[in-house]
Structure 1
Amino acid sequence: MRMEMTFQLFMLAIALVLILEGVGPLLFPNKWRRYLSELSNQNQQVLRRMGGALVTAGVVILIIFS
Structure 2
Amino acid sequence: MFNIDFSDLLAALALVFILEGLIPFLNPESIRKIFLAAAQMDNQTLRFLGVSSMLVGSIMLYIIR
1:18 corresponds to which residue? 17
1:25 Cα deviation after fit: 0.7
Amino acid at match of 1:35: I
1:11 Cα deviation after fit: 1.0
The DSSP-based 3-state class of the residue aligned with 2:5 is helix
Greater relative CO, 1 or 2 (CA 8 Å, sep 6+)? 2
Kindly report structure 1 stretches of 4+ aligned residues shifted beyond 3 Å: none
Unmatched segments (≥5 aa) in structure 2: none
Matched residues in 2 for 1:33 and 1:44: separation?
19
Unmatched segments (≥5 aa) in structure 1: none
TM-score (norm: length of structure 2):
0.87
1:7 Cα deviation after fit: 1.4
1:53 corresponds to which residue? 52
1:56 Cα deviation after fit: 0.5
Matched positions, count: 63
Amino acid at match of 2:44: Q
The DSSP-based 3-state class of the residue aligned with 2:53 is helix
TM-score (norm: length of structure 1):
0.86
Q: Which structure shows the bigger proportion of residues in helix conformation?
A: 1
